[in-house]
Structure 1
Amino acid sequence: MAGPLLWPAEEPWPVRAAVHPNGTGHLLSDVRLRRRIQETARGREYTQDEQRLLDGMTQRGHAPDLQDDDPSPMLAVAQLYARDVPDLVGPEGHDLLQVFWCPFEVHGGHTADVVLKWRRSADVGAVLTPQPEPLVAGRAECVPTRCVVHPEQVVEHEYLGLLDEELQEEIAEWEEGLLDEDEEEEDGQGSSPPGSYATYEEYEAATAAARAEEPEETDYMSDLSIAPGWKVGGFASWHLTDPAPEDAER
C-alpha cells in the first residue's frame, strides 16, 4: 500500500487533470508527521515538543505557490500482484495492477478520481526513483499509510437494497428470529455482574467478563453482505448513497 511502485523510469507518472483548491486541505508531510506523533504518543499525553509540532501544522499554509490548475501527480495507493490475490485477472500476460487516485473528493460529487495501470512486472527494468506525489490532499483520510498487506479471500453477498423484495423480507424475518433467540437466552441472566468488589478495577474487570459472555447480534448487512475494509472485487456497498448508476466513461 502507498508505494513504492514497480514503475519504469522512462514512463510518465499519472497526473491529475481536474482543478482543485490547493489552498485548502492537508500537506502530505503534515499528515504523515501527525500520524507518527500520534503513534509514538499512544497511551500517554503529548510532550511539549510534540504539541508544538501539532499546533504548527494547523497554523502554517498549505502550498501557497501551487495554483489550483497546476498539474499534480496522482497519489500511489496500491500495488497488487496476481500471484497474491485470488481471482485478480487482467489483460493477458499482465500480472501487476497499480492503483492511483487523486486525494481530493470533488470529482462530480464525493468521489475519488482513480487510475488503474496493468503491466507485466518482468518487463520493468530501471525503476523510477524518487517517485512523484502531490503536495496537498483534500482530506487526511485520502492519504494511505505505507504498509504491506496479506490478502485474504472471503465470501460476501449482494448489497441488501439490490435484492428482490421477497428475499429482503425473508432476510428481515430471519434477523427477527435471531433477535428473539438472543432475548430468550438472555432472559433472567442480566448483564451486570453480581456481588461486591473491593476496588473499581475489580468491578470493571468483572463487567468486561460479563459482556464478553453475551451473544453477539448477527445481521445480513454487517456479517454476510459487503466485507469491510480494503478489498479487490466483490460487490459494491451503497450505504452512503443508495444504489445509483455509474458512468461507464469515467
Structure 2
Amino acid sequence: MVVVRTTPPRPVDVTAVFPELAPSARPAVRLHPRPGAPSAADSSVGGPLLWPADEPWPHCEAAHLHLDSGFRRPPAEVRLDRRIMARRHADHGGPAMTPEEQTLRERCATMMEERFGADLPEPADCPVPLLPVAQLYLRDVPLLRPPAGADVLQVLWCPYDHEPDCKPSTALFWRSAAEVADILATPPEPYEVNDDGYVPEPCTLAPEAITEYPNSLDLSPRERSMVEDRSRWRAAGADPDSSHADSPRGFYDIHLAEAPGWKVGGWPPWGRTDPCPRYCAVCDARMVPLLTVASFEWDGGEGHSWAPHEDREAAVAAAAVGYCCGQRPSQPTKVAVGSTDNLQIYVCPTSPDHPHTDLIQ
C-alpha cells in the first residue's frame, strides 16, 4: 500500500504578498516518516540498511559524553518499552506487561549479562557501533545530489553526545543499490544508548515535494521590515490572524516559511541561534542543507497548520487534549535531539566527496 501525506496549502501565498521573495524559494522534500516495517530495499527512518555483508559496520571511536544514570539501557529495551507504552495507551485496562513482553525483557537482561557480566565498560572504553538513522533512495527523493553512480544515501549516528555541542556524531554513506549482492543480516548494536531519543523508531516514508521560503532571520534587513509591514499584507488582500495582529513576522515564520519535520533540502529552521552559515573545510564553499532530523513533524501549538491533511484530526485532538504514554502523533520517529530541536546535516555543493557537517537548531 502506498502511503500519502499532503501538506495543506499555506494560509497565504507568499509570492502574492511579497513577490520580492520569489527568488528565495527553495525546493524541499518532506519525508513524512510514520511507524512501519521497512525493509532494506525501502527508504526509511530507523529501518534496516542495504549494507553489504562484506563491508565492516561503522563504529565511533571518539570520546563520548556519558551521563551515568545508574543503569544500562540497550536499544532493544528502549524499543520494547515503547511497544509496551503504545499497547497500554491503546488498552488502558491491559496488563502492565504481557508474557511475551516479559520474555523479551528477560532476554535483554540476559544478553547484557552474557556480554559484559556485572562490569559494563564505559562508553569511552570501546568503539561504539553506529545506529541507522535514515536510508534514502534517489528514486523516492530525486532532490538528493549523489556522487556519480550512487543512488542510495545512508545516515547513521553514534547514540552518545559528543563535545563540543552535546549531540550525536553523524556518518554519511553513498552507495549504488545494484552493487550490493549480499546484505548484512544482523548489524551490531551498541550495548547502551545515551538517550532514548537517539534510537529512531523504524518508519516508512511518504516523500512529498514542497516549496519553502527562508525564515525571517535569513532575510535581509529590508526584507524583514517588509514582512513586518502590515500594510503590505493588507494591500495584497491578506492579513495575519488576530493572534499575530502585532507581529505579522511571527505569522510568516510559523505558517509560511520553512516546513517543520524530517526533510531533504529546503531552508534551515533557525531560532535556537541566529543564522550560522557552514563552510566546507576543503574548498570553503558555503554548505547547503541536506537532511533535517527533526524531533517533531509539526508544532503542538499554532504550528500544527503544517500537519498533513491525513493527520489533521489527530493533530487537532492532540493540540486540544495533549498526549500520554509518549504517543504524540507529531513524534512518530521517537527521535529527540537537543532540547527537542532539529539536527541539520549540511553538505558541500561543489563535491559530495567533501566532508559533511551538522548543526543543532
The two structures have a TM-score, normalised by structure 1, of 0.73
Structure 2 matches for 1:152-231, cutoff 5 A?
152-174=208-230, 178-179=239-240, 182=242, 219-231=251-263
- Asked if 1:120 is matched to 2:120, the reply is no
CA deviation vs aligned residue, 1:14-65 (integer Å, no higher than 9, x gap): 1112222274474212211111011111152563437x97xx99xx999852
Instruction: Give the Cα separation in 1 of the matches to 2:195 and 2:218.
Output: 30
CA deviation vs aligned residue, 1:119-141 (integer Å, no higher than 9, x gap): 11100111112112222222211
Residues 95 and 48 (structure 1), Cα distance of their counterparts in 2 relative to 1, 3 Å cut: closer
Instruction: Give the Cα separation in 2 of the matches to 1:68 and 1:224.
Output: 43
Instruction: Give the Cα separation in 1 of the matches to 2:140 and 2:76.
Output: 30
Report SS of the residue matched to 1:77: strand
- Asked if 1:78 is matched to 2:126, the reply is no
Instruction: Give the Cα separation in 2 of the matches to 1:172 and 1:46.
Output: 53
Contact 2:260 2:269 in 1 (8 A): no
Report SS of the residue matched to 1:118: strand
Larger Rg: 1
Report SS of the residue matched to 2:62: coil
The equivalent of 1:68 in structure 2 is 123
- Asked if 1:39 is matched to 2:94, the reply is no
Instruction: Give the Cα separation in 1 of the matches to 2:152 and 2:228.
Output: 41
CA RMSD across the alignment: 3.0
- Asked if 1:244 is matched to 2:276, the reply is yes
Q: Which runs of 5+ in 2 are unaligned?
A: 1-44, 244-249, 282-356
Instruction: Give the Cα separation in 2 of the matches to 1:26 and 1:245.
Output: 36
The equivalent of 1:103 in structure 2 is 159
Matched residues, number: 210
CA deviation vs aligned residue, 1:70-120 (integer Å, no higher than 9, x gap): 101111111110010131121011101111011223332133311110011
The equivalent of 1:11 in structure 2 is 55
Report SS of the residue matched to 2:204: coil
Larger % of strand: which? 2
Instruction: Give the Cα separation in 2 of the matches to 1:138 and 1:246.
Output: 27
The residue type paired with residue 76 of structure 1 is: P
Contact 2:63 2:162 in 1 (8 A): no
- Asked if 1:137 is matched to 2:185, the reply is no
Q: 1:49 aligns with which of 73, 76, 97?
A: 97
Offset, 1:247: 6.2
Question: Once the two structures are aligned, what percentage of the paired residues are identical?
Answer: 34
Contact 1:107 1:113 in 2 (8 A): no
CA deviation vs aligned residue, 1:178-221 (integer Å, no higher than 9, x gap): 24x648xxxxxxxxxxxxxxxxxxxxxxxxxxxxxxxxxx8211
The two structures have a TM-score, normalised by structure 2, of 0.52
Instruction: Give the Cα separation in 1 of the matches to 2:254 and 2:88.
Output: 32
